[in-house]
Structure formats: structure tokens, C-alpha cells
Amino acid sequence: MANKGLVPPGLAYLADNINTKHNLLGAGKGAGSKWAKDMQLPRDAETVFFAGCGYQYSSDLESLMSLMRRMDKGGVSDMAMGVAGFQKKLGIDAAGIYRKMMGGRGGEDGGEVLRDAVKVLRKLGLSFGYLGDEEPCCGGILHYMGLEEDFTRHAREVRSQLKSHKVSMIVGIVPSCTYTMRNLVAKVAPDAGLEVKHFSQIVAEKVPSLSLKFPTSAKMTYHDPCQLVRFMGIVEEPRTILRAIQGIEFVEPEWATREWATCCGGGGGFEAVFPEMSEILASNRARELADTGADIIVTQCPGCIMQIKTGLKNIKADKVEVLDLAQVVARAMGV
Amino acid sequence: MSVFSDYKKEIMDAAHNDRIRLALTRGIKSYRGNVNEAMKRFPHTIKMAEEVREIKSNAIADMENLAQKACESFEYNKAKAYIARTVDDALGILDKLVGAGKLIVKGKSMTGEEVELREHLEHKGNEVFETDLGEFIIQKLGSPPMHILSPAIHVPKEDVAELFSKLTGEKLPSDDIARMVAVARKLLREKYFLADVGMSGANVVAADTGTMFLIENEGNIRLATGAPPIHIALIGMEKLVPTLSDAYKVSEVTWRYANYTVPSYVSLVSAPSKTGDIEKTTTFGAHGPKELHVIFLDGGRTELAKDPILRQALYCLRCGGCLYECPVFAVTAGHFGDKYFAGCGMVWAGMVSHKPEKAAALAYTCLTCGRCKVRCPMQIDTPAMCVELRRSLVDKD
């Protein structure tokens, strides 16, 4: 009865990348780990920092999304022929566009977030490594697409890869990867010896012993990523951290915050199926956040950052900055 | 064009429609304000919702028994009761009761929408009047309902004024909502008393006493089920609970999450109208209907109840709260749906209506953001249902 043809084209393309190239973008091996080149992170460690596709390929994802949106708005037979087919037909080589960017600076913003997160964790005295180009894609999107068999197979590979590196703890930064590793992989490929925590949980634990000051005075609001707030219940941690930093005036949206936070419009692969609608939802969310009067919107998800930035541009509020919490903490620590 | 591309075009047109967005922005704001106030006034609702979730999850597992029991109870009360396995069975029973050439007044019912009741009755040569104001508006607009409780949620007042101006031939100002309401009242008033049949659904049914609860604010259901000589209720089997007190709890939680402190009217209907005032001789059809017919529709529900994850769609009380929290619904209204909308709508399309292409299109429209679950009194896990539905549709088995 099951019919794979029912997976919408944009998503089928991403799934194929994970299944064949082991990352969301179908990029070549090693491309994602460039951000860590000068970070001197050991490959073998009991605790590893899990960087995730979202930040490692952030600028590439941005190019891909922008391409998909252009296609979508252009009404190109609703991507029925798939992204790859579309590229071929119009002579646009999306893969080429993002590989070229990767050859250059590649994932600059995302790389900065990751380096900041590493610096913050180091400053907190955590000893950890990074699997580099052997870090597997969590494969979460396969699960969300409904391709549970592919996901299960992928999750088993992920688990044995972590086992072969003797990893006992993962510190995640991307909400979706962290939830996938903590809950979804654990469900289909259980490993009692593996603990998964999110970056903000570790930082929040240490906050009372820190003295933090943001270099300038700034009004900030916080956007809760769906998977952190509603899937993992991480509500207080980011707020504890932001409130502990001197120089920050912390404001919340009137209604749509904490467990009521509105999705940025980039959830569950939606952005690849309905690129244009996803942009409308991004603008709606950006408006709710900008209405707080904040200069900086803090969040913790590469997808949300991309969406909110797009939304801010659409509502002509690009002066508002969007940062990952790791960047804010790094600046407040002066690292 | 594929089902997916037709659907995508439909929801993108909706997303670009400023009228829909305007109407929904107003609706969402007002819902949140009202529901917060209702909860503040009656904080016990949250605990009661937990109790109701327990009641519903047990009742869904026991639907078949409850349906049998409810039929016995209604029959004992001198009503007629039926279990329809399929939509066609239900319509067949209805045809025998109604026939053709009748005037029918109808209360709003999602089960009615599911079986396309109005269209069917009209096709058989009957004249049907929707009496719920929202439903009346969309009937006249020729549009499908866009919300389970507020079917005309997508129509701003300016458009209603224009529609009613056309109906009455007099120009109605677009900010005079009271006058629009008065127009509908006037147009419908005599129909209740001329009608041969009144039709309703039900919000919940107590199996032990054979009692249906009808929750409303307008008063149209009281008239539609009280004035005509025959009352026919078409009710989904998922509405059954064991006892009268269970049914009461389901009702209170339903209206509270539907943003009301208390609705204007709750009718409890158990039997045809009767009197024994002349020589203690029971005579039916005193002031209310002489006949009461209750049709319980299975239509795939008992099958759906067997799925450990998707069965949650049957817990739905149809309060509509989730829809106000859905970011996609906020820009597309009921276009993100089939017979039902958003989360439960996608499950219904796949498991009850057996439309895999439409179900897939809806399932991949869900952000899996989970805010609907935060609102839902039954804590229905839409992200989990969505992923499971996708899996059941596309995964190798």
C-alpha cells in the first residue's frame, strides 16, 4: 500500500542526499568540518560536540532555500519534477552553487556559531572533542519524512559510528539533531551508555558561578525553537542565561513565547515542500518578535535563524540582529 | 494535475488572500482573549480535561459496545436508533426516513460535512436550510466550511454585508454586524415551523441513558430540533461515552476550550416529545418532535481506533482550539484540511476517507511544531500522528 511517490519532491531530494551522501546537502566528505580547522579539537574523546548539518552547511542551505523559493514563486510546476530535475531543465546547478560557496568561505555564519559554542564550552571547563568529517548526519529528517525504515538503518549506523569512537556523551547545538540523537536514535538503536545534552543545558548549569557582561547594552528577545521548547522542554535554560548577562534588557513577545512560541515556518521539512508559504510564516514570526522592540533576537537553531532573518527582511526590519545564544554568551564571556 | 499540485495551488491562493488573513487575525486574537478569560474564571477546567482524556481514551477502545448500549437506551426511550457501518449505509437509512420533496432545517454538524449531508439531501430533491449563521453564510457563498466551530471564520464582515445585501436587495453597511444577524434571523424564522424534518449532530452522547448533548449559542439547534415533527441526529461513534456524568464533563471541557465560560444553550435530547397529561395516556409529539431517530456512524472509526498512534484523532472534542494555534491555519484557514482540518483532518483524510494522496499532501503541510498539542484539552500529539501518518503512507512495510 505504501507509496514512496507520495513524498513531496523537495523532501525526496534531501532524503536522497542523506541516504547517498550522508549529509543533508549531498556535499562531499569533509566539507562540513572546515569551521573547526583551527580549533584544535581532538577527534577521540568521551564527550563530543555534535555540530550538525544545519550550522555546518548553513550558507549552502541558505542558497538552496533561496533557489527553491525562486522556483516556487516562479510557479515552476510546483517542483513536481524534483529539485534536481528542475536544475537540469533550467540549466541551474544548485549543487554547483553551494559547492562553490563551500569551496570559498563556506558556512561562515554557521561556522562562527559553532566556534563560539566551542569556546564557551571550553571556558566552562568542559573537556570534549569533535568527530570532524566522521560526524554522521543524525538522519532526523528521514524520520520526519516518514521514511522510518531508512531512518532506522541510518540510526544503527550512527550508533555504531559513535560506539567505534567510544563516545559516551554528546553535546548538541542544533535542536533537531539533539532531539534526534537523544530521543529518536535512542528509540530505534538504544545505547544505555550514551547521554545527550543540549548546549544551553550545560551553560545554564554553570551560570550562577559566572560573571557575564555583554559588551554593549542591548535589548534582546528570545525565540524558542519548537524542538527545544515543546519536544525537549528546554524553556528556562536560555532565559536563565540571558537574564544572568549584564547589559541585556530581556523582553518577551506578548503572547507567543515559551510553549506558545510560534514556529518560524521552517519545521519538519516544510520549507522544502512549501518554500513560499514558509517565507510568509517567517515574516509572521519575525513581526511578533520585532514588535517587542528588541535590537537582537536570540534563538538556538540554524533553521530558525535563517527563517527569522528572511522574515525581518520582508517586514523591512533588517536592522534587528539575529544571533544564536552561543554567540551572545561568547561575547558576554569575551572569548 | 496531481492531487498534490491542485492542493498546493489551493493553499497558496489562500495564503495570498488578504481577506482570509484579515478574518483569521481577528478571530485568533479574540479566541485567545476569550479562552484565557474563561480559564481564569473556571480554573478547574484543566484538571477536568485530564479526566475527560481518560474517559475518551477508554470510550474509544469500547466504541462498539457503547454504540450497542446507546441504541438500546434510545430504543427504551421510544426513539429509533441505528448503527451505520459506512457512509452509504447512513445515507440509506436517512433516505428511508426523509424521502424527497421535504423541507429540512439543519444544525451545524461536522459529521454531516463528512457524509456531505446537505448535498445528498438536496440531490434527493429536498430543500435544506443551514441554520447556524456561519454555515448559512457559507451555504449562500457556496464555500466549504473553514473551521469546525466557526465555519465562516475566513469571511470578514465586509464580505458578509455584501452577501446579505445581495440576498435581501437592500444595502447593508459593512460595520453593522447586528443588522446582518437580524437578516439571517428573519430569513430563517418561518423555516423552522414549516420544516418537515430537523437535523442535528451531537457533541457527546451518554450511552447509559441514551442522551445526546447539543451545545450552542445561537439557539438555532433548539429550534431546528424542537419545532419540526421529526428530529434526525447523525452522530459519529467517537462521540459516545459511558454515562451521563461523563457526557457532562466532556461537554464542559468542550465549550470551555471552545472559548466559552458557558454556552447560551445546552440541550439534552433523549426521547421524542411526549405528554401524559390527558388521562395519563402517553402520547408522542406534544410540542416537540413526534419522532426521534439517532444514527450512529462508524465509517472507519472502529478501524481507526485500532491504530495505537492515529486513534488519538478520535479523542478530538471538536473545540477547535488547535486551529487557532496552527501557523499554517492562520494563513490558509480550512484549505489546510479535507473534511476536518489540520492535525485530525489529515488523519481523517487518510484513515476514514481513504484518500492517500490528499492525506499525504496534508501530512506534509504540517510543521510538526506542536503548538496545537499545547492547546489541546486531550493533549492530542499531532506531530506524532503526522509522522506516523506519513510513515504509513510512504514507508516500505
Number of DSSP helices (H) and strands (E) in chain A, helices first: 17, 7
Q: List for chain B the helix, strand, coil content (%; round to 5).
A: 55, 15, 35
Instruction: Let me know if residue B54 belongs to a domain.
Output: no
What are B80-92's pLDDT values in tens digits?
Answer: 999 999 999 999 9
- Which of B301, B333, B349 terminates a domain? The answer is B301
Mean pLDDT of B148-166: 87
- Which residues of B fall within a CB distance of 8 Å from A259? 371, 374
Render pLDDT for B236-257 as a digit per residue (tens, 0 to 9). Answer: 999 999 999 999 999 999 999 9
Check whether residue B273 and residue B331 sit in a common domain: no
Q: Do A2 and B397 touch (CB under 8 A)?
A: yes
Smallest CA–CA separation between A205 and chain B, in Å? 27
- Side-chain-side CA neighbours of residue A217 (13 Å): 2
Q: Where in chain A is the domain with CATH 3.40.50.11810?
A: 210-333
How many CB atoms within 10 Å of residue A38?
7
Last residue of a domain, one of B301, B336, B363: B301
Interhelix angle B18-41/B45-61, rounded to 10 degrees, is 110
**Arithmetic mean of pLDDT, B319-328:** 96
Q: Are residues B182 and B252 in the same domain?
A: yes
DSSP character at residue A230: I
Q: How far is A74 from chain B (nearest CA, A)?
A: 13
A261 contacts in B (CB within 8 Å)? 371
Mean pLDDT is lowest, of A5-14, A298-307, B136-145, B261-270, for A5-14
- Higher pLDDT among residues A133 and B229, named by residue: B229
Residue in B36, B358, B367, B373 to test binding to A, most A beta-carbons within 10 Å? B367
Give the chain A residue whose CA is nearest to the CA of B369.
A226
Could you give the number of structural domains in chain B?
2
For A210-333, the fitting CATH number among 3.90.1300.10, 3.30.70.260, 3.40.50.11810, 3.40.50.920 is 3.40.50.11810
Question: How close is the nearest chain A Cα to the Cα of B269, in Å?
Answer: 38
Are residues B254 and B138 part of one domain? yes
Cross-chain CB nearest to B364 (options A77, A259, A273)? A273
Of B2, B12, B366, the CB nearest to A276: B12
Question: Could you tell me if B147 and B288 lie in one domain?
Answer: yes
Q: Tell me, what's the pLDDT at A63?
A: 75
What is the model's pLDDT at position A96?
47
Quick one: pLDDT at residue A59? Answer: 72
Q: Is A214 on the interface with B (CB under 8 A)?
A: no
Per-residue pLDDT at B154 exceeds 70: yes
pLDDT, residue A30, reads 73
Q: What is the extent of the structural domain holding B104?
A: 59-301
- pLDDT surpassing 90 at residue A216: yes
Task: Label residue A75 by pLDDT band (50, 70, 90).
Answer: low
Q: Residue A312 above 70 pLDDT?
A: yes
Q: How confident is the model at residue B193 (pLDDT cuts 50, 70, 90)?
A: very high
The pLDDT tens digits for B24-51 are 998 999 999 999 999 999 999 999 999 9
**How far is it, in rounded angstroms, from Cα B24 to Cα A263?**
17
DSSP secondary structure letters along A129-154: B--GGGPPP--HHHHHHT-HHHHHHH
Q: Note the pLDDT of residue A1.
A: 52
Q: B54-75, pLDDT tens digit by residue? A: 999 999 999 999 999 999 999 9
Structure confidence at residue A97 (pLDDT): 45
Best A144, A187, A227, A277 member to test B by mutation, with max B CBs in 10 Å, is A277
* pTM of the shown model: 0.91
Instruction: Give the integer Cα–Cα distance in Å for B11 and B331.
Output: 9
Amino acid at the residue B159: D
Pick the residue from chain B with its C-alpha nearest to A144: B387
Confidence check: pLDDT of A98 > 60 = no
Q: Which of B267, B301, B335 is the last residue of a domain?
A: B301
A to B CB pairs, distance under 8 Å: 122
Tell whether B159 is covered by a domain: yes
What is the per-residue pLDDT for B386? 96
Cβ distance of A277 and B392 shorter than 8 Å: no
Q: Do B297 and B314 lie in a common domain? A: no
pLDDT band at B396 (very low <50, low <70, confident <90, very high): low
User: What type of residue sits at position B132?
Assistant: D
How confident is the model over A168-179, as pLDDT tens digits?
Answer: 999 999 999 999
Tell me if B49 is assigned to some domain: no
What is the pLDDT at residue A8?
84
Helix (H) and strand (E) counts for chain B?
A: 19, 12
Residue B201 has pLDDT above 90, yes or no: yes
Which residues of chain A neighbour B389 with C-beta distances below 8 Å? 146
Q: Mean pLDDT across chain A, nearest whole number?
A: 87
Confidence at A84, pLDDT banded by 50, 70, 90: low
Considering the domain boundaries, does residue B84 fall inside one? yes
Shortest CB distance from B8 goes to which of A78, A143, A149? A78
Strands B230-236 and B291-297 come out as parallel
Instruction: Verify that B313 and B297 share a domain, yes or no.
Output: no
State residue A261's pLDDT score: 98
Using CA atoms, how far apart are residues A74 and B150, in angstroms rounded to an integer?
34
Q: Which of B332, B374, B391 sits opposite A146 (nearest CB)?
A: B391
CB-based contact B397 A255, cutoff 8 Å? no
Do B204 and B112 belong to one domain?
yes
Average pLDDT, chain B: 95
Beta strands in B144-303 (DSSP E): 197-200, 204-206, 211-216, 230-236, 240-241, 265-269, 274-275, 283-284, 291-297
| Domain presence at residue B230 | yes
Q: Which three cell numbers stand for residue B246?
A: 461523563
A276 — contact with chain B (CB < 8 Å)?
Answer: yes
Residues B165 and B247 in one domain: yes
pLDDT at A89 over 50: no
ipTM above 0.95, yes or no: no
CB contact set of A123 (below 8 Å; sequence gap of 6+): A333, A335
Residue A58, pLDDT score: 77
Q: Which residue has the cell 537553531?
A: A301
Q: Min CA distance, A105 vs chain B (Å)?
A: 31
Smallest CA-to-CA distance from B246 within B57, B52, B63 is with: B52
Residue B79 neighbours by CB distance under 10 Å: 22
Neighbours of A263 (CB within 10 A): 30
Q: A192 in contact with B at a CB cutoff of 8 Å?
A: no
Give contacts of B11 with chain A, Cβ < 8 Å: 274, 277
Average pLDDT over residues A126-138: 93
